[in-house]
Chain A
Amino acid sequence: MKITSKEVVNIAHLARLRLTKDEVIRFQKDLSDILDYIDRIKGAKINETKDISKIDNKNVFRNDQFVDNNEKLFEEKHLSKGYLKTSLIFNEND
């Protein structure tokens, strides 16, 4: 297989996902199939000068304006006294 089960678990962790044992087996097979297909791109002749960072792109700017639309950006249940509520970010021992 193109990708090991350990790699699947590691990559999933990087993406903040947890997989069950069965899911690891299934994802390993699916991803290997997909990577086998995608690998055809490695056989393509690509001129080294085709560097994407050298493509002419123009920045588009606009002035920052404060608009008070009185819009609720977050759901009520996520708020407390107007602040966004989360669980502890640091452990008490940090």
Chain B
Amino acid sequence: MINFEKKTIFEINNLLNERKISVEELTEYFLKRIEEKDKKFSAFLRVNNRAIEDAREIDKTIGQKEKMGLFCGIPAAIKDNILIKEQRATAGSRVLENYVASYDATVIKKLRKEKTIFLGKTNLDEFAMGSSTENSAFFVTKNPHDTEKVPGGSSGGSAAAVAGGECLFALGSETGGSVRQPAAFCGVVGLKPTYGSVSRYGLISLASSLDVIGPLTKTVKESAYVFDLIRGKDPFDATSREDHDVSSVNEIFIKDPKKLKIGIPVEYFPQSLDKNIKGNIDYLIEQLTKKGFSVEKTSLSHTDYALATYYIIMPSEASANLARYDNLRYGQKSSKKQEKNLIDIYIQNRTSGFGNETRRRIILGTYALSSGYYDDYYIRAQAMRQIIRDEFSEIFKKYDILLTPTTPTPAFKVGEKISPLEMYLSDIFTVPANLAGLPAISLPCGKVGKMPIGVQLIGKPFREEDLFLLADYLEQEIIKENKSTNY
């Protein structure tokens, strides 16, 4: 019996092309794994009941000798805030509990064209607001490495599905670290692409100036190929862009990673950083230096303001974006027959539909945007965001890549972080890249006890290939012992 969940997309593609397994058998294998493993991990909100049919269809239409594309028949999991036509998309919220998408997100269209199999939709914090997947309106997802621990969030379901071997890759979304932080907690590779490099069309909005879709995979090379498939300008997203300087994905890994200049921003190594994480990152730096890389300490002096800036801008945009959930077009009609007027309907439905964290952020955002506070909070935060961007542009004149820890601690226990502020602080190393729109990747670099930890690489805009090149080198040459996932 082959353990397909331990194989990469490339290896599975070979098996499919050699006709050693059919797409139907492969899909069935993963559906069975989900049925079995998800009792413990709760990564999936629901399974796609058309997956087997789709798989049979591919087997039927593919010719005997026809070569299958890399993603043809590959079983994937999709975060439940990304729309798949005629399937439910809840964004982890009661408000959208019965919402059925009427169109495909652009990323889904692209995967569909390659005949990727959609296994199901994964759990998330309500409207992607959270760092532990505990804010889902439905249930809490568990970390496959230790089910007492959180998988991180908000793409916790997608990260757990990859780590638990319930799919070959997954899509998540980021606003302030929601792919990288769960990737670090679950021991998988998570990419936050440059803002605008992947279309947001069909992604349920949280904060539109920060949101981006990104892949979760077992290895760096797989991440590069998934990214290559989903990126590109889209007429349906006016903020999407195409960068014509990008190398073909096949050419990335033949380049010399030692040409990349690496900076280590000292602000990402505060006193409060977990000692084991610090030790692990220090080891990587030492090894890179030993192998002849140019590695230098540097400084990003406004890092300390990044999280505060983020927690003004994100809730402000969220409060505006979530105003659309008036329960007239989406959601359940109130059961009360005699509402007095429209405002009563809004209040009634929004109050019963939104969870605590969502309401907290809507109120915080409304506060920051209200007259009297707008100048002190929102305007100041936007100005600070520009300062942070400028500081990154300046530092990237000297370096190609910044290397930092992904999170200040390994995964915490379910229910451990009681106060919202405590939860927010777990995003402290990931939000700066979102504020500046930069690409960043997290890859597993060791373990503290049973729990994986991640190293983060931040790059120049549209230079994902630099991240892949160095991350692949780290993975292949320096971090060898981390390939394992617990099952």
CB of B362 within 8 A of CB of A72, answer no
CB-contacts of A1-36 with B (<8 A) = 3, 7-8, 11-19, 27, 30-31, 33-34
Q: List 11 A-B contacts (CB under 8 A).
A: A11-B367, A11-B370, A30-B419, A38-B311, A38-B312, A41-B308, A41-B377, A60-B239, A61-B238, A62-B238, A86-B345
Q: With a CB–CB cut-off of 8 A, which chain A residues contact B377?
A: 38, 41
Interface centre among B100, B343, B364, B420 (most CB of A within 10 A): B364
Enumerate A36-94 residues with CB–CB distance to B below 8 Å: 37-42, 44, 46-47, 50-52, 55, 60-62, 69, 71-75, 77-78, 84, 86-91
Q: Which residue of A31, A72, A73 is within 8 Å of B360 (Cβ)?
A: A31
Whether A40 and B308, one on each chain, are in contact in the complex, defined by CB atoms closer than 8 angstroms, is yes
Which residue on A lies nearest to B312, using beta carbons? A38
Contact B360 A30, beta carbon cutoff 8 Å:
yes
Q: Which of B318-355 contact A (CB under 8 A)?
A: 319, 323, 326, 328-330, 333, 339-343, 345-348, 350-351, 354
Decide: B359 and A17 in contact? CB cutoff 8 A. Answer: yes
Closest to A49 in B: B383
Least CB distance from B88 to A in Å reads 11
Neighbouring A residues of B421 by C-beta, 8 Å: 30, 33-34, 37
B333 and A77 contacting across the interface, CB-CB below 8 Å? yes
Nearest-Cβ distance from residue B138 to partner chain A, whole angstroms: 19
What 12 new A-B contacts, CB under 8 Å, besides A52-B383, A61-B238, A86-B328? A7-B367, A14-B366, A15-B366, A27-B359, A27-B363, A34-B421, A38-B308, A38-B312, A40-B304, A44-B302, A44-B305, A47-B387
Main DSSP-derived SS at the B contact region: helix
Asked if A42 contacts B347 (CB within 8 A), the reply is no
Q: Is the CB of A3 within 8 A of B420?
A: no
A8, B326: Cα distance in complex, Å: 21
Q: Is A33's CB under 8 angstroms from B341's CB?
A: no
**Do A30 and B347 touch across chains, with their CB atoms under 8 A apart?**
no
Give the distance to chain A from B99, nearest Cβ to Cβ, in Å.
7
Please indicate the chain A residues that have their CB under 8 angstroms from the CB of B311 in the complex.
34, 37-38
| Neighbouring A residues of B456 by C-beta, 8 Å | none
Q: A11-B367, A78-B333, A87-B345 are in contact. Are A42 and B328 (CB under 8 A)?
A: no
- Report how many residues on chain B are interfacial, defined by Cβ distance under 8 Å: 57
Interface digits, B296-325 against A, CB 8 Å rule (1 contact, 0 not)? 000000101101110110000001000100
Residues 359-405 of B at the A interface (beta carbon under 8 Å)? 359-360, 362-364, 366-367, 370, 376-377, 379-384, 386-387
Q: Would you call B362 and A17 a contact (CB within 8 A)? A: yes
Instruction: Tell me how many residue pairs across A and B have CB atoms closer than 8 Å.
Output: 135
What are the residues of chain B within 8 A of A78 when measuring CB–CB? Answer: 328-329, 333
Provide the residues of chain A in CB contact with B283, threshold 8 Å: none
Given contacts A27-B363, A44-B305, contact A50 B387 (CB under 8 A): yes
**Chain B residues, CB < 8 A from A17:** 347, 350-351, 354, 359, 362-363
Which residues of B are at the interface with A, using a C-beta cutoff of 8 A?
A: 98-100, 102-103, 235, 238-239, 302, 304-305, 307-309, 311-312, 319, 323, 326, 328-330, 333, 339-343, 345-348, 350-351, 354, 359-360, 362-364, 366-367, 370, 376-377, 379-384, 386-387, 419-421, 424
Q: Please classify the interface of chain A as helix (H, G, I), strand (E, B), loop, or mixed, using the class held by over half of its residues.
A: loop
Q: Which residues of A contact B239 (CB under 8 A)?
A: 60
- A77→B328 CA distance, assembly (Å): 10
CA–CA, A90 and B71, complex, Å: 54
Question: Across the interface, which residues of B come within 8 angstroms of A74, CB to CB?
Answer: 329
How close is B169's CB to chain A, nearest CB, in angstroms?
28
Closest to B390 in A: A50
Residue pair A31, B346 in contact (C-beta under 8 Å)? no
Please determine whether A46 and B384 come into contact, CB atoms closer than 8 angstroms.
Answer: yes
Contacts of B367 in A (CB 8 A): 3, 7, 11, 31
Instruction: For the complex formed, measure the closest distance between the CB of B376 and the CB atoms of chain A, giving whole angstroms.
Output: 7
CB nearest to A59 among chain B residues: B238
Residues of the A chain whose Cβ atoms lie less than 8 Å from the Cβ of B98: 75
Asked if A46 meets B363 with Cβ closer than 8 Å, knowing A30-B420, A38-B311, A38-B312, the reply is no
Which one of A27, A40, A44, A62 has the highest number of Cβ atoms from chain B below 10 Å of its Cβ? A44
Q: Which residues of A are found within 8 Å of B100, using beta-carbon distances? A: 72, 75
